[in-house]
Amino acid sequence: MSSKPSFVKELALPVIAAPMFLISGPKLVIECCKNGIVGTFPALNQRTSEGFEEWLLEIKSALKKFEEDTGKKPAPFGVNLIVHPTNPRLEADIKLCVKHKVPIVITSLGAVSRVVDAIHSYGGLVFHDIIKKRHAEKAQEAGVDGLILVAAGAGGHAGTINPMSLVAEIKKFFHRTIILSGCISTGRDIASALQMGADLAYMGTRFINTEESKATPEYRNMIIDAGASDIVYTAAVSGVHANFLGASLKAAGLTEEDLKKDTKIDFGKELDTEAKAWKTIWSAGQGSAVIEDTLPVAKLVDTLKSEFKKAVEEQTKVLDIYPK
């Protein structure tokens, strides 16, 4: 039986702004939620669990004040947890998510039932990143509420499967919330994600180019200048295959041979070695090909709404022509 969370119908758009390493912070999350889309951030964007809790308090306080001042209910926010044996903060960060009743927890690199059970203990939802069927099956066994299908071309840690095939394959056996990730940059893309069978669109790269993100002007300009073929897929940076801006890899002095190497995954170093690398080696998805500006979140969401509505209206008109 299908089971979809009630908040989906309350959003201004069916969108989750993805948690981006070193890029997503309270300012971006708060503005997304105020404007009716889900804002998220990685717990590891704060260097300590104490700092992570400070961010949770800041976000909760700002959203509460927004609701009191406007009478409008903000969209829920979410936190990304790296569920990997080498993440030394996992247990402490789970406890903080439970303590502050984080509405949505996004798990990556491991779907573990005890984590799901902890979040479910207070009514929270767990969405899990997957790039292939096997990962989806394990996540379903762990009891997750939704799957984030990270398709080919997505920014950050991405898969290689076409989104149409991936959605169709997963929907054969998973009947809960489906979130699609990969090259979603416009309102038309959001409409296309729903047309393929997703419940929500997962947008990362487009939100790097917002005034509220932590990205530098140089990073944002590199995205504006990049085409789809300028994105490089490699495991050389973190040990997990991810998409990066080729120009930033070149600027860091990485050669073709370097990019073919795999490094050992160790999230105990996430806050030092890898963080230093990701500050100068910038991630982005192939959707950068259509990003031409940097906007405040409020204006971006308004633009996405307009594009989404136009795309759906145009699609409806197709019924006047087909099928014959």
- Assigned token pair, 270: 């996430």
Q: From the CB of residue 227, how many other CB atoms can be counted at a distance below 10 Å?
A: 11
CA 142 to chain centre: 21
At a CB cut-off of 8 Å and minimum separation 6, what does 274 contact?
Answer: 237, 238
Q: What b/e string do you get for 38-48 counting C-beta neighbours within 10 Å, with b at 16 or more?
A: bbbbbbbbbee
Of 180, 189, 183, 216, whose CA–CA distance to 294 is shortest? Answer: 216
230/243 Cα distance (integer angstroms): 10
- Asked if 174 contacts 259 with a C-beta cutoff of 8 angstroms, the reply is no
pLDDT at residue 265 above 60? Answer: no
Instruction: Kindly list the domain boundaries of the chain, sorted by start residue.
Output: 13-217+285-320
Task: Return the half-sphere exposure (C-beta side, CA atoms, 13 A cut-off) of residue 13.
Answer: 31
- Asked if 210 contacts 296 with a C-beta cutoff of 8 angstroms, the reply is yes
pTM over 0.75: yes
Please state which of the ranges 11-20, 277-286, 301-310 shows the lowest mean pLDDT.
Answer: 277-286
At a CB cut-off of 8 Å and minimum separation 6, what does 167 contact?
Answer: 149, 178, 180, 196, 197, 198
What fold characterizes domain 13-217+285-320?
TIM Barrel (3.20.20)
- What letter represents residue 147's amino acid? L
Confidence band (pLDDT; 50, 70, 90) for 259?
confident
Task: Point out which residues pair with 203 in neighbouring strands.
Answer: 17
Looking at per-residue confidence, does 257 or 142 come out higher? 142
Mean per-residue pLDDT over the chain, rounded = 93
Q: What is the pLDDT of residues 37-82, one digit of tens each?
A: 999 999 999 999 999 999 999 999 999 999 999 999 999 999 999 9
Confidence band (pLDDT; 50, 70, 90) for 277?
low
Please state which of the ranges 22-26, 69-73, 111-115, 238-242 shows the lowest mean pLDDT.
Answer: 238-242
Looking at per-residue confidence, does 84 or 194 come out higher? 194
Q: Are strands 125-130 and 146-150 parallel, antiparallel or unpaired?
A: parallel
